[in-house]
Chains A and B, each alone.
Chain A
Amino acid sequence: MREFLVFVRKECYHIFRDRRTLLILFGMPVVLIVLFGFAITNEVRNVKIAVLDQAKDTYSRQLTDRITASGYFTVDRYLASEKDIEPVFREGEVKVVVVLPPNFGHEFYHGRKAPLQLLTDASDPNTGTTLVNYANAIILQYQQEMTGKVTLPLTIQTASRMIYNPSLKSVFLFVPGVMTLILMLVSAMMTSITITREKELGTMEILLVSPLKPLTIIAGKVIPYIALSFIIALTILAMGFWIFGMPVKGSLLLLLLECLLFCLAALSLGILISSLTNSQQTAMMISMMGLLLPTILLSGFVFPLESMPKPLQVFANIVPAKWFIIILKDIMLKGAGLRQVWQPTLILGGMTLFFLVLSVRKFKTRLS
């Protein structure tokens, strides 16, 4: 036990003396959360549009006001003719052009059918689609208001409500995502790097010649990083809570235990990587390509899994991050307890056990 404590202390010296890495480890989650929370957002707000109003009547003006009043769009300029449309898009500021034909009001009121054109900059297809949907919704609403007095023979009234995230805040998705990413990064990458560093420096040989048991070496290496991961996880949760109002509806204890489970999975992956290679550089590359990319791309963090091709969806099942994000979201947003998340927890636990056994065995065989 004393040997173990001595080892942990040494490991802490390594961590705290390497100021740059420490800064990155603590700086990155903060930067990522702030970036994802404020800057990178799927929400539409104050998008600049241009209006080509050829009708200039009451209805066309009303509609334009409606569009701007929503808060999603602001009118950047009014266009004089169709020739202006192309240059406006070229400039890139304006994302949507609304074209109201002459006689818009007349046709709307008397012809009962008014054409209207929405031109959208679709060089970013996701944004393009979102903008069209938003604009359509506003126009539809306006139309309903105008025709509201007339009762249609049959109507379906949709009353939609966004539960768990009523205001559609994208930060609710990013907090669990960033947490997953950072825990994976700290636990897996840092562990694999710190073990391979000992190999590169030749100190691992000395440790293996010493009476230290391989398990003591592994535990001594890993436990300081578990502590570090925990502090970082708490930081992210605190930021999510106080800055973005991200709730933790479920039990905080359960949440932290799940974090521990995920950390263990990531750490054992880190140990596994370090047993594959002797160089820090390779270890870093493998962690990046083999762990971080799937964590970002195949966990449902950035891209929804449901819209992926079947093979990728199947593959995503072996990415521990996928299950962890499900658990996090369920606990934080839906207030789920163990009874609701036992399934992903079991899967994650199984994976952890598998990796842990595999990595400890691998590590031992390096000794002989």
Chain B
Amino acid sequence: MSKAIITRNLTKRFGDFIATNAITFDVEQGEIFGFLGANGAGKTTAMRMLCGLLKPSSGEATVAGFNIFTQTEQVKRRIGYMSQKFSLYEDLTVKENIRFYGGIYGLSHQQIKSKTEELLGKLQLQQEAGQLVSSLPLGWKQKLSFSIAVLHNPSIVFLDEPTGGVDPITRRQFWDLIYEAADRGVTIFVTTHYMDEAEYCNRISIMVDGKIKALDTPAKLKEQYQAASMNDVFLQLARAKPGENNSSS
């Protein structure tokens, strides 16, 4: 089981509009896989299908070795998810949030207790453990959010634009957390539209209008498109076919 995610011609239609058009790719276990695309290119739709939030229209996919059509239950137990919106409960304290998310993934009381200690230590949030999440700065909330998404040791974690609206320093710290998780063997599937973040990924795919236009390591992509940065690669691909700015997600 070296492949974390396998998709074959995965398609999602909303009426006449095709949000993701027959995408095919593999993600290796332990890899940081960047999923890039303009707004409305279909990244969120693709990610939601892999998480079991949306039912694909056609195609095939397995996540952590389980079929996303028939084995959603097993898939859900093995993935973590962090959405675009900040998704902790603001009227609960840091500790209560950890306890809740640990609880719904079926962690035992003991496990939650030790995980909480470990997590608070790592994020240096011991002082704030009893405070309401609403009182934390955004950057901390994001880090906490990520730590909670990997609390139950998922084999894959899906991050949907996790660093939106966060300053560069905190973003860097956030990526340190991601690397650390990847070192433990967690597969990271991350969508972003910060091109500097794209450089941090092992491999990236670029989606344009529902299709995957490019998929390789950042270095190879830059070479292939003779670009100085990922930004140039992205612009070349996104501008190749102008018009049509259908929005989905």
27 contacts between A and B (CB under 8 A): A6-B100, A10-B92, A10-B100, A13-B89, A13-B92, A14-B89, A18-B91, A201-B86, A202-B83, A202-B87, A203-B89, A205-B53, A205-B81, A206-B83, A206-B101, A207-B104, A208-B52, A209-B51, A209-B52, A209-B79, A210-B101, A210-B104, A210-B105, A211-B76, A211-B105, A212-B104, A367-B53
Contact A14–B105 (Cβ < 8 Å): no
- Whether, in the assembled complex, B54 has its beta carbon less than 8 Å from a beta carbon of chain A, the answer is yes
Chain B residues whose CB sits within 8 angstroms of the CB of A14 once the complex forms: 89, 91-92
Contact B83–A10 (Cβ < 8 Å): no
Taken together as a complex, chains A and B put the C-alpha atoms of A18 and B90 apart, in Å, by: 12
Q: Is the interface of B mostly helix, strand, loop or mixed?
A: loop
Q: Which of A205, A211, A368 has the most CB of B within 10 A?
A: A211
- Whether, in the assembled complex, B77 has its beta carbon less than 8 Å from a beta carbon of chain A, the answer is yes
Interface size range of chain A in the complex: 20 to 34
Taken together as a complex, chains A and B put the C-alpha atoms of A61 and B88 apart, in Å, by: 78
Chain A residues whose CB sits within 8 angstroms of the CB of B143 once the complex forms: none
- Whether, in the assembled complex, B216 has its beta carbon less than 8 Å from a beta carbon of chain A, the answer is no
Chain A residues whose CB sits within 8 angstroms of the CB of B91 once the complex forms: 13-14, 17-18
- Whether, in the assembled complex, A310 has its beta carbon less than 8 Å from a beta carbon of chain B, the answer is no
Taken together as a complex, chains A and B put the C-alpha atoms of A203 and B91 apart, in Å, by: 12
- Whether, in the assembled complex, B73 has its beta carbon less than 8 Å from a beta carbon of chain A, the answer is yes
Contact A3–B106 (Cβ < 8 Å): yes
Contact B96–A13 (Cβ < 8 Å): yes
Residues of chain B at interface, number, CB under 8 A: 28
> Shortest CB–CB separation between residue A73 and chain B, in angstroms?
56
Contact A209–B76 (Cβ < 8 Å): yes
- Whether, in the assembled complex, A2 has its beta carbon less than 8 Å from a beta carbon of chain B, the answer is yes
- Whether, in the assembled complex, A230 has its beta carbon less than 8 Å from a beta carbon of chain B, the answer is no
Chain B residues whose CB sits within 8 angstroms of the CB of A13 once the complex forms: 89, 91-92, 96
Taken together as a complex, chains A and B put the C-alpha atoms of A208 and B76 apart, in Å, by: 9
Taken together as a complex, chains A and B put the C-alpha atoms of A203 and B99 apart, in Å, by: 15
Residue of B at shortest CB range from A204? B87
Within 198-248 of A, Cβ neighbours of B (below 8 Å) are at 201-203, 205-212
Taken together as a complex, chains A and B put the C-alpha atoms of A6 and B92 apart, in Å, by: 13
Contact A368–B54 (Cβ < 8 Å): yes
- Whether, in the assembled complex, B224 has its beta carbon less than 8 Å from a beta carbon of chain A, the answer is no
Taken together as a complex, chains A and B put the C-alpha atoms of A209 and B49 apart, in Å, by: 11
Chain B residues whose CB sits within 8 angstroms of the CB of A6 once the complex forms: 99-100, 103-104
- Whether, in the assembled complex, B85 has its beta carbon less than 8 Å from a beta carbon of chain A, the answer is yes
Residue of B at shortest CB range from A205? B83
Taken together as a complex, chains A and B put the C-alpha atoms of A79 and B5 apart, in Å, by: 95
Residue of A at shortest CB range from B86? A202
Which of B73, B81, B90, B106 is in CB contact (< 8 Å) with A206? B81
Within 1-58 of A, Cβ neighbours of B (below 8 Å) are at 2-3, 5-7, 9-10, 13-14, 17-18
Within 55-105 of B, Cβ neighbours of A (below 8 Å) are at 55, 73, 76-77, 79, 81, 83-92, 96, 99-101, 103-105
Chain A residues whose CB sits within 8 angstroms of the CB of B54 once the complex forms: 368
Taken together as a complex, chains A and B put the C-alpha atoms of A212 and B52 apart, in Å, by: 12
Contact B85–A202 (Cβ < 8 Å): yes
Taken together as a complex, chains A and B put the C-alpha atoms of A3 and B103 apart, in Å, by: 6
Chain A residues whose CB sits within 8 angstroms of the CB of B103 once the complex forms: 2-3, 5-7
Chain A residues whose CB sits within 8 angstroms of the CB of B76 once the complex forms: 209-211
Taken together as a complex, chains A and B put the C-alpha atoms of A367 and B100 apart, in Å, by: 21
